[in-house]
């Protein structure tokens, strides 16, 4: 019998958060169990074709820019994380955060579903002196954490690759990785406006986009994001965090489009 049927059968309330935990944990039992779950998402197929392309990955940092990871590192430190702490960076990409964080925290695990990203990050990390992140090719739903529970989870601009149902399972998986009181720091494109303002907000976004696709995200990139990726509304995202056991302790938005959350896993 498929694992997920056992989970549903043993549950008294099929909508309860523990069921999400159980289904997601079933998803990480390994390849054999995953093959038993016919509805499990193919995370690579949803990763964004460009992220699987070595040529795009080679130019990713120039296009993305170099946001300073110091702010995110300082937030984890403000919540007590230090040289003894473990942080998992999910959808780590080229490792802008993970490489810097590995110099500060005890263990950093950089996880990405794309082989091209992971290969690039491994090469880059090899050139770094000092502590380096562990690098794992896996998805939000498939990553299997080993060792003690993590003290922090970081994820930037990757969660929107997942449709909302899967986003909730991914957040639930993050809660499963963290110790009670552990810190989740999420940065992502999340829409902080009512539906009727979508045309106006997106018009402003596209108008200020880059012109050179090698040097930034263009209006065409943003339009493709809106059409084909899964950024959600703030008023949907925050209940997802609550339903998966997180307390939001800080939130900021930039241009009604870019959300930054610091959350604590409830005990």
Phi and psi at residue 165, to the nearest 5°? -55, -45
184 bridge partner residues = 153, 263
Residue closest to ligand SAM (Cβ): 93
Q: Which of 77, 137, 157, 218 binds ligand SAM (CB under 6 A)?
A: 157
CB of 163 to ligand SAM, least distance (A): 11
**Cβ nearer to ligand SAM, comparing 42 with 146:** 42
DSSP assignments along 110-155, one per residue = EEES-HHHHHHHHHHHHT--S---EEEE--TTT----SSPEEEEEE
> How many residues sit in the footprint of ligand SAM (CB under 6 A)?
21
Contact map string, positions 173 to 212, toward ligand SAM, x by CB under 6 A: ----------------------------------------
Among the residue ranges 1-9, 12-20, 152-160, 217-225, the one whose residues contact ligand SAM (CB under 6 A): 152-160
Q: Which residue has the tokens 């499990």?
A: 40
User: Structure tokens of 63?
Assistant: 């296009």
**Cβ nearer to ligand SAM, comparing 12 with 25:** 25
d(CA 232, CA 137): 26
CB of 70 to ligand SAM, least distance (A): 14
DSSP assignments along 235-249, one per residue = HHHHHHHHHTTEEEE
Residues numbered 79 to 138 that lie near ligand SAM (CB under 6 A) are 90-93, 96, 112-114, 117
Strand (E) positions, 157-193?
Answer: 178-189
Contact indicator for 112, 142 with CB cutoff of 8 Å: no
Interaction between residue 4 and ligand SAM (CB under 6 A): no
Closest CA to 140 of 57, 52, 53, 47: 47
CB of 136 to ligand SAM, least distance (A): 10
**Cβ nearer to ligand SAM, comparing 63 with 179:** 63
- Sign of the four-CA dihedral 158, 231, 261, 24: negative
d(CA 94, CA 60): 8
Residues numbered 19 to 48 that lie near ligand SAM (CB under 6 A) are 43, 47-48
**Cβ nearer to ligand SAM, comparing 26 with 118:** 118
**Cβ nearer to ligand SAM, comparing 67 with 181:** 67
Helix (H) / strand (E) containing 267: none
- The strand pair at 178-189 and 258-265 is best described as antiparallel
DSSP state of 246: E
Q: Which of 4, 140, 191, 237 binds ligand SAM (CB under 6 A)?
A: 140
Residues numbered 56 to 75 that lie near ligand SAM (CB under 6 A) are 64
CB of 77 to ligand SAM, least distance (A): 19
Interface residue list for ligand SAM (CB under 6 A): 43, 47-48, 51, 64, 90-93, 96, 112-114, 117, 139-140, 156-158, 161-162
């Amino acid at each position: 019998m498929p694992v997920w049927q056992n989970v549903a059968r043993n549950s008294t309330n099929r909508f309860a958060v523990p069921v999400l935990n159980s289904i997601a944990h079933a998803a990480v039992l390994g390849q054999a169990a995953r093959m038993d779950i016919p509805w499990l998402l193919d995370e690579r197929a949803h990763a964004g074709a460009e992220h699987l392309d070595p040529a795009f990955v080679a130019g990713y940092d120039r296009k993305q820019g170099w946001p300073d990871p110091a702010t995110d590192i300082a937030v984890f430190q403000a919540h007590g994380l230090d040289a003894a702490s473990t942080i998992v960076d999910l959808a780590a990409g080229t490792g802008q955060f993970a490489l810097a964080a590995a110099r500060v925290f005890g263990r950093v695990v950089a996880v990405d579903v794309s082989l091209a990203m992971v290969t690039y990050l491994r090469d880059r990390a090899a050139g770094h002196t000092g502590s380096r992140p562990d690098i794992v090719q896996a998805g939000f739903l498939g990553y299997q954490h080993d060792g003690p529970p993590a003290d922090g989870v970081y994820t930037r601009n990757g969660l929107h690759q997942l449709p909302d149902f899967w986003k909730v399972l991914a957040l639930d998986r993050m809660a499963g990785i963290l110790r009670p009181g552990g810190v989740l720091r999420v940065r992502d494109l999340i829409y902080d406006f009512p539906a009727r303002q979508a045309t106006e907000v997106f018009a402003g976004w596209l108008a200020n986009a880059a012109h050179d696709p090698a040097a930034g995200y263009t209006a065409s990139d943003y339009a493709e994001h809106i059409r084909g990726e899964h950024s959600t509304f703030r008023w949907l995202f925050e209940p997802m965090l609550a339903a998966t056991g997180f307390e939001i302790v800080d939130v900021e938005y930039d241009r009604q489009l870019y959300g930054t959350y610091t959350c604590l896993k409830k005990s």
